[in-house]
Homo-oligomer: A and B are copies of this chain.
């Protein structure tokens, strides 16, 4: 199927050398503004020959380490230190980012679940369509910077993609994970987010992609921010697209513990509605059958708490933040060491 042309435009000339700061203009004809557009911030820094690297943050609007990392990087990037092209979308789902929400307040959609998008759709799929049809074909590499968002907290982790890739791509990603140098790296089981994510879009265009899960809880953690800054800049240097010196805020690389989850049994979900009391913390090593916590219901005085157990063992790399919980919410997920 031939893709329809995008309705978005921009004043950026992606073929021009130099540093350009502008907006993707996403048409949005509504009651308060008949001829208006939503301004999705974008920067492009290009100089001579070299690879093109696309950096995204704010795909979920309530994930902040990446947004600050790219904002600072946009300030620091000088064309003289670039060989190739770096394209940055520091607040990719702009309406979600302005509102501090995971999903867009305009159409309620999750940008990371609507790829390859729809040029005639509501703002979120129209934006995904632009990224998929215009930006991905320009790119050699994608870095998509996430944190856990308002509902989850992660150990600082580089995300190296799912299981369906060639051995060569896998080796490249593992190498990029080591260069990134976060304390943890993680390979998701197949199918997380389906085929509608940024990484699926990248794969469909032959773009090598990695991501992050840097903290979360809808806040900014100084440590995660420094790890994110260091990792992103190390990867850019490693790819040869940037030659900038090490900055004061970069955390140094550490040897990354390579983790994976072989199946969805490494994820623990709430069995009922209630108030969850966790009994383990991030970084704990747990065993199959171990107590994960209790579901309480203070609204019914005297109701006994219900225990929740782990079905598999591993290290706790992600936990739920909000105490109020509904059946089906993810409470924890685990990782085990990658056999490679």
Interface of A with B (CB < 8 Å)?
A: 7, 9, 21-23, 25, 27-39, 41-43, 57-58, 60, 62, 64, 67-68, 70-72, 74-75, 88, 90-91, 94, 97-103, 107-108, 110, 112-114, 120, 148-152, 193-194, 196, 217-220, 222, 225, 264, 267, 269, 272, 275-281, 296-305, 320-324, 326-330, 333
A43 near B302 (CB under 8 angstroms)?
A: yes
Report, nearest first, the 5 A-B pairs whose CB atoms are least far apart: A100-B324, A35-B330, A64-B323, A90-B298, A31-B102
Q: How far is the CA of A15 from the CA of B304 in the complex (A)?
A: 26
B301 near A31 (CB under 8 angstroms)?
A: no
| Known pairs A75-B304, A220-B277; A91 contacts B33 (CB<8 A) | no
B296 near A151 (CB under 8 angstroms)?
A: no
Name the contact of A90 in the complex, choosing from B36, B88, B301 (C-beta under 8 A): B301
| Known pairs A99-B324, A298-B91; A220 contacts B31 (CB<8 A) | no
A7 near B151 (CB under 8 angstroms)?
A: no
Q: How far is the CA of A228 from the CA of B193 in the complex (A)?
A: 39
- Inter-chain contacts of A21 with B (CB < 8 A): 301-302
Q: How far is the CA of A220 from the CA of B278 in the complex (A)?
A: 7
Q: How far is the CA of A329 from the CA of B21 in the complex (A)?
A: 19
Nearest CB on B from A47, distance (A): 18
B34 near A219 (CB under 8 angstroms)?
A: no
- Inter-chain contacts of A303 with B (CB < 8 A): 71
Nearest-CB residue, chain B, relative to A327: B39
The winner among A68, A102, A276, A301 for most chain B CB atoms within 10 A is A301
Q: How far is the CA of A278 from the CA of B219 in the complex (A)?
A: 10
Nearest-CB residue, chain B, relative to A279: B222
B25 near A328 (CB under 8 angstroms)?
A: yes
B276 near A220 (CB under 8 angstroms)?
A: yes
The winner among A35, A36, A193 for most chain B CB atoms within 10 A is A35
The winner among A34, A90, A152, A300 for most chain B CB atoms within 10 A is A34
Q: How far is the CA of A333 from the CA of B34 in the complex (A)?
A: 12
Nearest CB on B from A312, distance (A): 15
Name the contact of A220 in the complex, choosing from B27, B120, B275, B299 (C-beta under 8 A): B275
